[in-house]
Amino acid sequence: MDLSDTSSARSSSLDDLEIIEPLCAVFRRRLKAEGLKYTPERAQILDAILSMDDVFQADRLLESMKGQGFRVSRATVYRTIKLLEDAKILQQVLVDSEQAHYQLAYGTHSAGLIVRTDTHEISSIEAPGLLELRNKVCAELGLKPEGHRFVIYASAKPAPDA
């Protein structure tokens, strides 16, 4: 199963489609291309993901869905997340070694994240030059870059008084 295939009639990348085509349509198309089915559960899960924070965890997603009255099983949530990863709609981000975190892959976040060590909030950041740095390093080593990730850990500054 390779949902990342882009050699269909519309071969544009996700980046191009995000604005003009809703993600659910992208997903549906990728599924069909693999002979897989676009079920209500999968639609609901993608929908719920769109209403989550930038970076979320599978368990929180399930929790959120249950809170909204959806009846999905944990297994289906995990299975669908995996499908969305395969389809390059979702990507895993490594924040800590506890639970997997995910974020939408469209919009070409510069793969930069800032993790608040005090509040545990996570957000994407603009960190220019990473791509170039990555490519330079890979070129020097004679390797083909596949991806990269930059995570900053930070906390609130101490009160400026005293």
Partner DNA sequence: GTCGGTGCAAATGCTTTGCATTGAT
Partner DNA sequence: ATCAATGCAAAGCATTTGCACCGAC
Contact (CB, 8 A) for 32 and 38: yes
Q: Is 142 in the site for a second copy (CB under 8 A)?
A: yes
Q: How far is the CB of 10 from a second copy (least distance, A)?
A: 26
Q: Which is nearer to DNA, 10 or 74 (CB)?
A: 74
117 binds a second copy (CB under 8 A): yes
The two three-digit tokens of residue 124, written as one number = 């994407």
Closest C-alpha among 88, 113, 115 to residue 33: 88
CB of 52 or CB of 130, closer to DNA: 52
CA angle, 54 then 60 then 66, to 5°:
120
**By CB under 8 A, residue 150 contacts a second copy:** yes
Residue 19 burial (CB < 10 Å; 0-12/13-18/19+)?
A: exposed
- Residue 121 touches which of DNA, a second copy, none (Cβ within 5-8 Å per kind): none
Query: What is the closest distance, in whole angstroms, from the C-beta atom of residue 30 to a second copy in the complex?
Result: 22
Report the distance separating Cα 66 and Cα 103, nearest Å. 20
Distances (CA, A) of 43 to 48, 59, 121, 139, 144: 9, 18, 27, 41, 35
Q: Is 33 in the site for DNA (CB under 7 A)?
A: no
Q: 46 and 18 in contact (C-beta within 8 Å)?
A: no
In the numeric block, which tokens belong to residue 46? Answer: 């993608």
Q: Does 8 bind DNA (CB under 7 A)?
A: no
According to the binding rule CB under 7 A, does residue 41 interact with DNA? yes
Q: Please, which of residues 65-104 interact with a second copy by CB under 8 A?
A: 92, 94-97, 100
Q: Which window, 16-24, 76-84, 104-112, 132-140, contacts DNA (CB under 7 A)?
A: 76-84
Residues that bind a second copy (CB under 8 A): 92, 94-97, 100, 112, 114, 116-117, 125, 127, 129-130, 133-134, 137-138, 141-158
